[in-house]
Amino acid sequence: MSPNHKKALTMLEYGLMSHAGFTVVTGEIGAGKTTLIRALLGKIEDDCVIGLINNTHESFGELMVWVLDSLEIESSATDNAGRYRDYINFVVEQHAQGRRVVLIVDEAQNLSVQALEELRLLSNVNIDSDIFLQLVLTGQPELIEKLNRPELVQFAQRIGVEFHLKALSYPETQNYIEYRLEVAGAKHKIFSNEACAVIYCYSEGIPRRINNLCDFALVYAFADDKTEIDVALIQEMMRDKKSSRIVEAKASENPDVKRVKNWLLEQHNIQIA
């Protein structure tokens, strides 16, 4: 994990340890939010009952149905009032046995304002210092925009821990590429420093994009019988990706990326389109 990912995981753990009612972690698509959740699940103590919801779009059905399913609560209720009653009975029973219920909602930016308000109502089971339910939400930056809406002010006020997962820097991107190759069994340096810099410019430091671009670059190198990947190969690959037009491939204009682009141009005469 990058330092930022380690900090995010620490914040998630702190949220659970401090009995925070709501913990929210946001980040761009592919920043590693779901990976963090997997890491968190491996660290949670046995005194917690875990429910994980990742089907958050309205088309997948009512929220209470997914809440009951994620916590494996059997219910014959046909309406939300009955489902809510079964949920309350389950949570109170777990608390009586010394266990906390932790409900994790991944991709929470897909939840409607109404669904987010339903989640807040689920936390009404908590009474002062007695925490029966803890909610952990991860989502894209749009989640922050939703939580700042006036109708969700009560939800926002209950957030005890929040963290935004930033993209990797250029040095972190290069370390990440080299680390993954080392784990995979690489015995020598495969990506040149300049190639890593170009990958950073196009990926903006987002781990999933880095993975995709590096995978493609390795396939291109294999096709050309090359054992090392240089800037020329990356640029050829990017020209081909642009011509496909499935996903627009262009270097970002954020300040950190601009600095790396200028360094490539000034020090190595490499221009990134």
| pTM recorded for the entire structure | 0.83
Please name the amino acid found at residue 153.
V
Q: Of 165, 191, 214, which residue constitutes the final position of a domain?
A: 165
- Is residue 82 domain-resident? yes
Residue 34: how many CA atoms within 13 Å on its side-chain side? Answer: 11
pLDDT band at 59 (very low <50, low <70, confident <90, very high): low
Region 263-269 average pLDDT: 72
Considering the domain boundaries, does residue 273 fall inside one?
Answer: no
Q: Which residue has the tokens 């779901």?
A: 34
Nearest residue to 173 via CA among 145, 134, 202: 202
**Do residues 20 and 75 both lie within one domain?**
yes
Tell me, yes or no, whether 16 and 129 share the same domain.
yes
Are both 112 and 238 inside the same structural domain? no
Q: 45: which 2 tokens?
A: 């103590």
Please check the confidence at residue 246 and state whether its pLDDT lies above 70. no
Residue 26 lies in a domain: yes
CATH of residue 92: 3.40.50.300
Q: What is the domain range of residue 7?
A: 3-165
Residue predicted with more confidence, 92 or 244? 92
Question: CA 83 → CA 62, 69, 100, 103, distances in Å?
Answer: 11, 11, 19, 16
104 is a domain residue? yes
Question: Count of CB atoms within 10 A of residue 116's CB?
Answer: 22
Q: Lowest mean pLDDT: which of 41-50, 152-161, 191-200, 262-271?
A: 262-271
DSSP state of 168: P
Same-domain pairing of 38 and 123: yes
**Contact status, residue 54 vs residue 107, Cβ threshold 8 Å:** yes
Last residue of a domain, one of 124, 148, 165: 165
Same domain, 239 and 142: no
pLDDT for the residue 61: 67
Is pLDDT of 27 > 90? yes
pLDDT at position 178 = 95
DSSP annotation string for 206-258: -HHHHHHHHHHHHHHHHHTT-SSB-HHHHHHHHHHHHHH-SS------SHHHH
Are residues 175 and 160 both part of a single domain? no
22 and 145 in a single domain? The answer is: yes
Q: Contact, 39 vs 9, CB < 8 A?
A: yes
pLDDT in tens, 117-129: 988 888 888 876 7
Q: Which pLDDT score is estimated for 125?
A: 84
Count structural domains, the chain: 2
